[in-house]
Amino acid sequence: MQYEAIKRQDTEVYEAIMGEEIREAEGLELIPSENYVSRAVREANGSVLTNKYSEGYAGRRYYGGQEFTDVVETLAIERAKKLFNCQFANVQPHAGAPANVATYFALLEPGDTIMGMDLSHGGHLTHGHPVTYITKIFNFVRYKMKDVETGEIDYDAMLEVAKKERPKVIMAGFSAYPRELDYAKFAAIGKEVGALVIADMGHISGLIAGKAVKNPFDFGFDVILTTTHKTLRGPRGGMILTRESEEIAKKIDKSVFPGFQGGPIMNTIAAKAVAFEEALHPSFKTYAAQILKNAKAMEEVLRARGVRMITGGTSNHLILADVFGSLGVTGHEAETLLDSVGITLNKNMIADDTRKPMDPSGIRFGTPAITTRGFKEVQSARVAELMVDALEQRADKNKLESIHSEIKELCKAFPVPESFV
């Protein structure tokens, strides 16, 4: 029996875990930054490696007893390098945001300028939003889309700002941008102003590993920052990849430890190693490609049903929909309503949103998790139909009950798999 010891020792935690297990089994996860991991990844994450402190790096630890921790960290590094075609990898960051901040401190001095995507146009908090403490240390300037209906970045304006502000780092990355970035243009702008170009690929690293989208390293990027969950389908954690500069890699290693973190979470690093091996399997390429196909299938339904999508659709794993403008329902209302019928997604601001962050105009959703369950285009399109039906007929309790029943049947037909290889 799973969780037998927890059940005997702590019934309150046990009941919460079992509740979450039922929720995941009976509902559809559409939050684009979430996914299901294999049993092997969960077992590694819950292993005895949680007992071990391992400050330092393989072969250079501060404590003894590291023969097995060195094995798992080295495996994770070598597999990450192979997945992303780079020469250096640091797998110790506890999460994506700490990986970003450690990289800033590795490569910059206080007061230096960083250029990143504006949060309101799809960027991430760590790319310079004023609510973050990191903006007290570094100077951030931002770029935006030129046209929110197509998603085209204003690269001409980017270049002009870069010439004026002379950033030391240009960040290419996002958390709610449904298109691919033009990495060649980023690299060209970086070269012209003498800036390092860094890609924050937390959302699409699995798509890169699966060869479904372009790899920024192929365009001369210096560093890739990423989480290890989301499309990469590993444990929650972070990672920093360096294309070829040993000097940059050494600075990053020193910044992560001892500069920014203490002991690495070795059980999570073991789980990263397991997930990276799964991503090296040929089936992962099929999975990554299917994520994009499923997102396109959902896009087609929304377009046919008259739902406005920021950037006009998607070229990756996620969609950002203006439900307030299209259906007269706020993002918060849509999130709550869809949760009640077994569809989990998140409210999200749209570009130049006039509403507040906790009750915005949009919703953000994607296909990594349902693709893990085995959904293809037909099932993905049906989910999109059900979403719009629920939002359009939100006052009809019988209709909502019918939709919830259909979602449960879909979940039974496509259970969460235990293994991917």
- The whole-angstrom separation of Cα 303 and Cα 193 is 40
Tell me the three state secondary structure of residue 145. Answer: strand
Query: Are 21 and 418 in contact, with CB atoms under 8 Å apart?
Result: no
Catalytic annotation, pick one of 14, 24, 34, 55: 55
Q: Distance from first CA to last CA of the chain, Å, rounded?
A: 24
Residue with tokens 């309790």: 397
Query: Are 208 and 201 in contact, with CB atoms under 8 Å apart?
Result: yes
- The whole-angstrom separation of Cα 119 and Cα 177 is 10
Query: Are 326 and 306 in contact, with CB atoms under 8 Å apart?
Result: yes
- The whole-angstrom separation of Cα 160 and Cα 162 is 5
DSSP bridge pairs for 153: 145
Our answer to whether residue 133 is catalytic in this structure is no
Our answer to whether residue 230 is catalytic in this structure is yes
Our answer to whether residue 177 is catalytic in this structure is no
Catalytic annotation, pick one of 14, 53, 57, 155: 53
Query: Are 195 and 115 in contact, with CB atoms under 8 Å apart?
Result: yes
Catalytic annotation, pick one of 200, 253, 277, 322: 200
Token reading at 103: 């990289």
Catalytic annotation, pick one of 61, 142, 230, 347: 230
Q: Where are the beta strands (DSSP E) in 205-353?
A: 223-227, 238-242, 318-322, 343-344, 346-348
Catalytic annotation, pick one of 79, 142, 233, 236: 236
Distances (CA, A) of 165 to 58, 89, 169, 307, 367: 40, 30, 11, 39, 38
Our answer to whether residue 364 is catalytic in this structure is no
Our answer to whether residue 287 is catalytic in this structure is no
Our answer to whether residue 296 is catalytic in this structure is no
Catalytic annotation, pick one of 227, 311, 367, 372: 227
Active-site amino acid positions: 53, 55, 200, 227, 230, 236
